[in-house]
Amino acid sequence: MRSSSKTHTQAKTLRRALTPPEVILWARLRARQPDGPRIRRQHPIGPYIADFYCSAAKLVIEVDGWSHNMGDRPARDERRDAWMVEQGLTVVRYPADEVMRDPIGVADGIWDACVARMRSRR
């Protein structure tokens, strides 16, 4: 699942421009990393960039704001998710308002999903 240099450059740019829900979630996820699965932010996977990714669990985490419901975005997200699944990845999506409302609960859910998937892969 190699990514082009253009995708890598775009991911680097996105890391510097996280949305408020992504910033809050990243702070929670990053605080836990010394004792658990490594989670990356704005990680390139093939032609796409995942909001967050745990390679050990093969888990893609997406934070969906209001724009994910507009125009052709739902269809694009569906194609993207299907491609990720074809690559053997699992995609979980969290609405941005849920992240804002309960960042600890969302981070705990992500953490638990990573650990469970890592155990099931052994």
Note the pLDDT of residue 31. 83
Tell me if 53 sits within 8 A of 61, measured CB to CB.
Answer: yes
What band does 18 get if pLDDT is binned at 50, 70 and 90? confident
Maximum separation of any 2 CA atoms in the chain, in Å = 41
Domain that holds residue 26: 5-120
| Count of structural domains within the chain | 1
* CA-based radius of gyration for the chain: 14
Which CATH number fits the domain that encloses residue 104? 3.40.960.10
Tell me if 7 sits within 8 A of 49, measured CB to CB.
Answer: yes
Note the pLDDT of residue 62. 95
> Ramachandran region of residue 37, left (φ > 0), alpha (ψ -120 to 50) or beta?
beta
**35-87 tens-digit pLDDT:** 778 999 999 999 999 999 999 999 999 998 766 555 667 888 899 999 999 99
Note the pLDDT of residue 32. 74
Note the pLDDT of residue 4. 66
